[in-house]
A and B are shown apart, each in its own frame.
Chain A
Amino acid sequence: MSNRERFEELLTAEMDGELSPAELLEFEAMLAADPELAAEAAAEREMIAMMAGLRDFKAPPGLVKTAVNAAMPGAIVVPITEVATPKRRLPMALTAAAACVAAVVAVGTYFVEGGRESESPASRMMADSAPESKAKQDALYLETGEKGAVTSMFFDSSGAAGPDPFVGPPSPAAAPSLIPAAPQAISEGDVYRLRQDIADSKQEKVAPARREAKEAEWSMRSLNTAERDASTPALTVDTLQSAETNELAGAAVESQLGISGDLVANQPSGSVGSGGGSSVATSQPDDLPLPDRATVAILMSTVQTELVADTWNPTTALRYMPAAATELADAATLPTHRFAIFRTLQSANADRLANDLNQRFPGAAVDFSDHVLVIYGQTAAVAGGDDGGFVSGSVPGSTGSEFYPGPAPVREIKSLDEVEGVATEYGATLASRRSDALVLTFQSSGEAGEFLTVAERLIGSGATSLWMERIELLTSGGTVTLTIPLQQ
Chain B
Amino acid sequence: MSDSQERSEQEQEARLLSAAQSGDRAAMERLLSMHQDRIYRTALSYLGGNEEGATEVAQDVLISVARNLAGFRGDSRLTTWLYRMTVNYAKNYLAARQRRTARFVSLDPTAAGDEDAPPVIQAADPRGNTRDRAAASEMQSILQQRIAQLPEDFRTVMILRFVEDQSYEEIGETLSIPVGTVKSRINRGRAELRRLMADVLPGGESHE
Contact = CB atoms under 8 A, between A and B. Distances in A.
Interface in B65-107: 65-67, 100-101, 103-107
Contact of B40 (A47, A58, A313): A58
A435 B109 CA distance: 11
Given A43-B194, A66-B63, A469-B127, A415 B202 contact: no
B197 interface: yes
A65 interface: yes
A414 B111 contact: no
B10 interface: no
Given A36-B206, A243-B56, A310 B107 contact: no
A412 to B, nearest CB: 7
B107 A487 contact: yes
Contact of A437 (B66, B67, B104, B126): B126
Contact of A47 (B111, B165, B194): B194
Nearest to B158: A51
B17 interface: no
A40 B126 contact: no
Interface residues of A, number: 61
A64 B206 CA distance: 46
A68 interface: yes
Nearest to A434: B130
A67 to B, nearest CB: 4
A243 B33 CA distance: 21
B62 A64 contact: yes
A419 B193 CA distance: 38
Contact of A55 (B106, B147, B165): B165
The SS class assigned to the B binding surface is helix
A72 B66 contact: yes
Interface in A207-247: 208, 210-211, 243
Given A43-B197, A72-B23, A488 B40 contact: no
Given A53-B140, A67-B62, A67-B63, A59 B36 contact: yes
Nearest to B69: A71
B14 interface: no
A157 interface: no
A150 interface: no
B108 interface: yes
Interface-central residue, B51, B108, B117, B187, by most chain A CB under 10 Å: B108
Given A59-B58, A64-B33, A208-B63, A39 B104 contact: no
A164 B123 CA distance: 48
A462 B100 CA distance: 11
B36 A486 contact: no
Given A50-B140, A64-B62, A67-B66, A43 B126 contact: no
Given A437-B126, A485-B126, A63 B143 contact: no
Contact of A46 (B127, B130, B202): B202
A488 B117 contact: yes
Interface string A403-427: 0000000001111100100000000
A210 B206 contact: no
Interface in A1-58: 8, 12, 15, 36-40, 42-44, 46-48, 50-55, 57-58
B130 A436 contact: yes
B148 interface: no
Interface residues of B, number: 66
B66 A70 contact: yes
Interface in B98-143: 100-101, 103-109, 111, 117, 120, 123-124, 126-127, 130, 137, 139-140, 143
Interface in A460-478: 462-465, 467, 469
Contacts of A488: 101, 104-106, 111, 117, 120, 123-124
Given A54-B45, A59-B40, A64-B29, A486 B123 contact: yes
B29 A8 contact: no
A57 B105 CA distance: 32
B109 A36 contact: no
Which of A39, A47, A48 counts the most chain B CB atoms within 10 A?
A: A47
Contacts of A67: 32, 59, 62-63, 65-66
Nearest to B168: A16
A439 to B, nearest CB: 11
Interface string B8-44: 0000000000000001010011001100110111001
Interface in A419-455: 419, 434-437
A168 interface: no
Contact of A52 (B29, B37, B163): B163
A243 B128 CA distance: 13
A169 interface: no
Contacts of B183: 12
A342 B44 CA distance: 39
Given A48-B162, A54-B140, A60 B40 contact: yes
> 9 tightest A-B contacts by CB?
A39-B203, A485-B126, A71-B66, A488-B123, A487-B104, A59-B40, A67-B62, A51-B162, A43-B201
8 contacts: A36-B207, A37-B207, A42-B202, A47-B201, A50-B140, A51-B147, A71-B63, A464-B105
Given A54-B163, A437-B126, 4 more contacts: A39-B202, A43-B201, A310-B126, A488-B111
